[in-house]
Structure 1
Amino acid sequence: MAVDPMFAQDYNAAFEPQTYLNTFYNDTSPRMTFGLTQFHEAFASGNIKGRQLLDFGTGPTIHSVISASQHCESILLAEFSTQNRDTLKKWHSGELKRTSHAIFLDYVLKLEGKGDSVSNREASMKEKVSGIIPCDIRNENPFAPCFIPSADIITSSLCMESVALSIPEYESYAARLASVLRPGGHLVLFGCVGGTFYTVGSSRFSSFGMTSSELQAAWAKAGLEIVTWKEGHCPNSGMSDIDGFFTLVARKAQA
């Protein structure tokens, strides 16, 4: 019998960061190599840079800021789940020992080909982290009670589809996130195409699947110009029913 999926309000009660890391971040799977490669290519162009980087919906992992960290001065990690924020804080303090971080750091550094070491890159990333804050995109002010400055760059990975339950909701959340981006700033997004769920341990969580055209239309409606859009196939692992993955690079028009 299929298990009913859990939704955004269930993450603090049911989401297990360590199980999630063990399930999805224990090796360089096709999903992760696609995402890491696309993040690398987006920033390798040299066109995306700025002072403030906001990573939205970070989860318990730092893969989405590895490439971006070299093109900003300060990194703000925003995450809904209390236990995920605790995991990020343990990583930042050095308490968390996760081989997956080293695996992904090593993969990206090889793509860059500059001879940097895993330990140096991780130390550099940690030095730039200015805060690990709560967020909830369902709220009109997603970062309340915190105040955050406009971001030059926003990165996000596998987040928006975990919250939205309809196209209008997704469009509303996209507009809220885009409002934090300064004019001329860039969004680099990794997400799912299609699907309804993903599984962490014994829990099944909602993943609102949209088509490529629906996704692109939502971000265009939010006031962003899509610069690049790339898709990758998702092998059927039984852990989710998504069709594939995408990366989007978009730029907010100058005022």
Structure 2
Amino acid sequence: MLSASEPRDEGLKQCKMAPTNHSALLCFLEQDSLFLEQAVKYPLRTLYTEFASGYIKGESLIDVSIGPLIFPLFPVFEPFREIIVLKFNDDCIKELDKWRTSDPGACDWSHAVEFMAELEGNSAVWTHKEEQLKGRIKHLLKCDVSAENLVDERTVPKADCLLTAWILETISQDETSYCNNFKKMSALLKLGGHLVLIGDIQGSFFIVGGHKYHILPIGEEFLRKTLEDEGYSIVFYSAVGRNAEKQTTNYEKIVCIIARKVRER
């Protein structure tokens, strides 16, 4: 377990979640109904409603999110024909490849699929859509947060939409590194494209499988300023306060943001 004073090792310790903790993370999400409502259902509901308006679309989407999470893609993938998923370690890639190939030992995201079916009012459709999402993931690649570019720009062209969930506060040591890491991610998005960001406000840790993972506490004002400074215009902003005191995490809010990239830095 990491202590509060232990260095983050450039944020990579949080990206190297042990494979045994992948299943613990799923149990964490499924068994705590209050946390499930905020960490899963809230972003799914919020993004589903916003994407239904149809103004976010294009050919390609890049997803850079924490651990083996795939559910943030559920409400946003349909307008895009090609999806590229980037992960920071091989274990997450293996876990997601199991899900993509319907391996019996894959992570089970049925709780998120069932909620999407509730939102649309059609469970049969969402069984098909999960398979459709698997088919649209054309590349599952490893990226390097310590490099100047997360990936080789020659092999991963800029996308029309960039989705990032709970990763920037996880890989960043301080506000300066947060801004630098955001710049690297922003380089993956076309001018005029849309950023979809899910994250914690003023959270400093979460505990999964008995292991404590430290994250960077960030404020809403800092987050808004970072986006604006990097050339983004916020078109949608929603935040919900933590609904219960917990020993497993201490965030104040979960935020969902959609921002349009209006200028290059």
Same fold judged by TM-score > 0.5? Answer: yes
1, 8, 12: which is aligned to 1:9? 12
Match runs of 1:108-147 below 5 Å: 108-113=116-121, 116-144=124-152, 147=155
Cα deviation, 1:133-188, whole Å, max 9, x if unaligned, reads 01133321112497201100111111110011111111111122112111110011
Deviates more, 1:40-49 or 1:143-152: 143-152
User: Quick one: distance in 2 between partners of 1:23 and 1:101?
Assistant: 13
* Structure 1 pair 46–9 and aligned structure 2 pair: CA distance change class (3 A): same
Cα deviation, 1:37-80, whole Å, max 9, x if unaligned, reads 12212311100011011011252121111111111001111111
Q: Does residue 70 of structure 1 match 2:78?
A: yes
User: Quick one: distance in 2 between partners of 1:159 and 1:206?
Assistant: 12
Amino acid corresponding to residue 259 of structure 2 in structure 1: A
* Structure 1 pair 99–79 and aligned structure 2 pair: CA distance change class (3 A): closer
Aligned length: 255
Name 2:49's counterpart in structure 1: 41
* Structure 1 pair 153–2 and aligned structure 2 pair: CA distance change class (3 A): closer
| Contact 2:84/2:140 (<8 A) preserved | yes
Deviates more, 1:14-23 or 1:93-102: 93-102
Deviates more, 1:229-238 or 1:19-28: 19-28
Q: Does residue 103 of structure 1 match 2:111?
A: yes
Amino acid corresponding to residue 30 of structure 1 in structure 2: Q
Name 1:93's counterpart in structure 2: 101
Cα deviation, 1:110-152, whole Å, max 9, x if unaligned, reads 2234665232011100110101101133321112497201100
193, 199, 202: which is aligned to 1:194? 202
Q: Does residue 22 of structure 1 match 2:27?
A: yes
User: Quick one: distance in 2 between partners of 1:82 and 1:6?
Assistant: 22
Equivalent position SS for 1:29: helix
| Contact 2:235/2:260 (<8 A) preserved | yes
User: Quick one: distance in 1 between partners of 2:105 and 2:18?
Assistant: 23
| Contact 1:155/1:189 (<8 A) preserved | yes
The runs of 5 or more residues in structure 1 that have no matched partner are none
TM-score, structure 1 normalization: 0.91
Q: Does residue 176 of structure 1 match 2:179?
A: no
| Contact 1:87/1:96 (<8 A) preserved | no
Cα deviation, 1:168-225, whole Å, max 9, x if unaligned, reads 1111111221121111100111000002111111211111011101011111111111
Q: Does residue 226 of structure 1 match 2:234?
A: yes
15, 32, 40: which is aligned to 1:32? 40
Identical positions, percent: 21
Equivalent position SS for 1:71: coil
TM-score, structure 2 normalization: 0.88
User: Quick one: distance in 1 between partners of 2:18 and 2:138?
Assistant: 28
Q: Over aligned residue pairs, what C-alpha RMSD do you find?
A: 2.4
Cα deviation, 1:1-54, whole Å, max 9, x if unaligned, reads 983367333243646212222212456433211111122123111000110110
Q: Give the 4+ runs in structure 1 shifted more than 4 A.
A: 96-100
228, 241, 246: which is aligned to 1:237? 246
User: Quick one: distance in 1 between partners of 2:105 and 2:69?
Assistant: 12
Amino acid corresponding to residue 23 of structure 1 in structure 2: F
The runs of 5 or more residues in structure 2 that have no matched partner are none
Amino acid corresponding to residue 159 of structure 1 in structure 2: I
* Structure 1 pair 96–165 and aligned structure 2 pair: CA distance change class (3 A): farther
| Contact 1:74/1:130 (<8 A) preserved | yes
